Amino acid sequence: TFRVPWVDDQSRIRVNRGYAIEMNSSIGPYKGGMRFHPSVNQSILKFLAFEQVFKNALTTLPLGGGAAGCDFEPKGKSDDEVMRFCQSFMAEMVRHMGAHTDIPGGDIGVGSREIGYLFGAYKKLTNQFTGALTGKGLQWGGSRFRPEAAGYGCVYFAAEMLATRGMAIEEQTCLVSGSGNVAQHTAEKLIQLGARVVTLSDSSGHVFDPDGIDAEKLAFVKRLKNLRRGRIREYADKYPHAVYTPADPSLDHNPLWSRRADCVFPCATQNEIGEKDAYALINNSVKLVCEGANMPCSSEAIAVLLGKKILYAPGKAANAGGVAVSGLELVQNSMRLSWLGEEVDERLRIIIREIHRTCLEAAEEYGTPGNYLNGANIAGFVKVVNAMVDQGVV
């Protein structure tokens, strides 16, 4: 835990609190997301790091589990402020990380801009150009398909799950929450595969577009969010058939999940689907809930979904495509070359198919066939614990 002092554009001194959680390195260097959001605290990063241990084990790649972050709010800050903050964060983080030690990647509030400033600071402080961070720009060590990987992988996972019941993604009506990296690319792949995506959201509210969000509308969202850093409300100004519903913290449920849909992809943050939301989804005959975010369903919501035999995939399995392509970024860095997009996408598809198979097999073996949550936990745990036992008491 460390202080992150920086100076804002009004020359005021600001101090944030940073964290690096190194949870398990038995199968590879610590690796996980780095989150910049005002809600960040040690507890949240510990759950992320814990989930990451099993997730990374499932990817088939040699990656241990960790997480890092800070209670810094990038929203509303200038690029210069974000840069100064990232440089101060790295001044401490550099002591703990490294290509063979701990390799942070993107998460909430940490995208290509932040990784760029962090990587520049890391390179200056260490005098080394190494793959010590992932999510790098394509021209300076990044991998093709890394920005898309978590979202695309989530949809590939959903397609595998639907196939077990003889269904396909095509023509399914889908709810997607969030409008950041994971939500955008989940929506993108769903649209490419012929699904009907009808919602997106941010922390201020959600938009419902009964006509469906198509590729052109999604391109507007990408410009809005990634370049202008605007709010999702503006979608409803641009497309008048769409309805904007502001978030209401006094409610014990989120109206987004009361929309009718076949498939649901929570891609914003933890605990965004509670018990009441799960019942609302079931009342609308939902078939599948596939987690793009980390732990978006509360444990009560999961119990409701599993009780009704809904296809449910935990984030540690369904969103593992993000960290998997981070792992492939590191492979490319070590080889000092850059694979074509087709090669990365094909590897991503193979990894997701393998995770899906592993989860189903472990669930079956444990006597809970079709329970992807048990399958992911057991398969991840067994791999990690075997490595720990092999390596002795250290």
Stretch that binds ligand NDP, among 136-144, 180-188, 341-349, 357-365 (CB under 6 A): 180-188
Residues 241-300 that bind ligand NDP (CB under 6 A): 267-269, 292-294
Establish if 375 lies at the interface with ligand 2IT (CB under 6 A).
no
Residues 197-226 that bind ligand NDP (CB under 6 A): 202-204
- Give the residue with the Cβ less far from ligand 2IT, 205 or 322: 322
Strands (E), 87-230: 102-105, 173-176, 196-202, 205-208
Cα radius of gyration (the chain): 20
Binding mask 346-385 toward ligand NDP (x if CB under 6 A, else -) reads ----------------------------------------
Which option in ligand 2IT, ligand NDP, none does residue 31 bind, with CB closer than 5 to 8 A by kind?
Answer: ligand 2IT
- Give the residue with the Cβ less far from ligand 2IT, 207 or 328: 328
Contacts (Cβ under 8 Å, ≥6 apart) of 99: 29, 130, 131, 132, 330, 333
- Give the residue with the Cβ less far from ligand 2IT, 302 or 318: 318
Q: In what order do the strands lie in the sheet with 243-246?
A: 243-246, 205-208, 196-202, 173-176, 263-265, 288-290, 311-313
Establish if 29 lies at the interface with ligand 2IT (CB under 6 A).
no
* Cβ neighbours of 391 (radius 10 Å): 11
Establish if 322 lies at the interface with ligand NDP (CB under 6 A).
yes
Interface with ligand NDP: number of residues (CB under 6 A)? 25
Stretch that binds ligand NDP, among 10-18, 106-114, 189-197, 342-350 (CB under 6 A): 106-114
Establish if 178 lies at the interface with ligand NDP (CB under 6 A).
yes
Which option in ligand NDP, ligand 2IT, none does residue 178 bind, with CB closer than 5 to 8 A by kind?
Answer: ligand NDP
Contact 40, 108 (CB under 8 A): no
User: Which pair of structure tokens corresponds to residue 209?
Assistant: 């577009």
Which option in ligand NDP, ligand 2IT, none does residue 180 bind, with CB closer than 5 to 8 A by kind?
Answer: ligand NDP
Which option in ligand 2IT, ligand NDP, none does residue 358 bind, with CB closer than 5 to 8 A by kind?
Answer: none
Exposure string for 333-354, b = 16+ CB within 10 A, e = fewer:
beeeebbeeeebbebbbebbee
User: Which pair of structure tokens corresponds to residue 351?
Assistant: 């990894």
Q: In what order do the strands lie in the sheet with 30-36?
A: 2-7, 13-24, 65-70, 30-36, 102-105
Distance CA 31, CA 45 (A): 13
Q: Could you tell me the smallest distance in angstroms from the CB atom of residue 3 to ligand 2IT?
A: 24
| Residue closest to 186 by CA, chosen among 321, 64, 72 | 321
Residues 279-308 that bind ligand 2IT (CB under 6 A): 294
Establish if 160 lies at the interface with ligand NDP (CB under 6 A).
no
| Residue closest to 187 by CA, chosen among 241, 264, 281 | 264
Contact 112, 137 (CB under 8 A): yes
Helix (H, G, I), strand (E, B) or coil at 334: helix
- Give the residue with the Cβ less far from ligand NDP, 38 or 307: 38
Establish if 323 lies at the interface with ligand 2IT (CB under 6 A).
yes
Q: Could you tell me the smallest distance in angstroms from the CB atom of residue 147 to ligand NDP?
A: 8
Binding mask 20-39 toward ligand NDP (x if CB under 6 A, else -) reads -------------x-----x
Distance CA 254, CA 75 (A): 23
- Binding ligand 2IT (rule: CB under 6 A), the pick from 28, 111, 322, 375 is 322
Strands (E), the chain: 2-7, 13-24, 30-36, 65-70, 102-105, 173-176, 196-202, 205-208, 243-246, 263-265, 288-290, 311-313
CA distances (Å), origin 51, targets 33, 44, 48, 377: 11, 11, 5, 9
Residues engaged in binding ligand NDP (CB under 6 A): 33, 39, 106-109, 111, 150, 178-183, 202-204, 267-269, 292-294, 319, 322
Residues engaged in binding ligand 2IT (CB under 6 A): 31-33, 55, 105-107, 134, 294, 322-323, 326
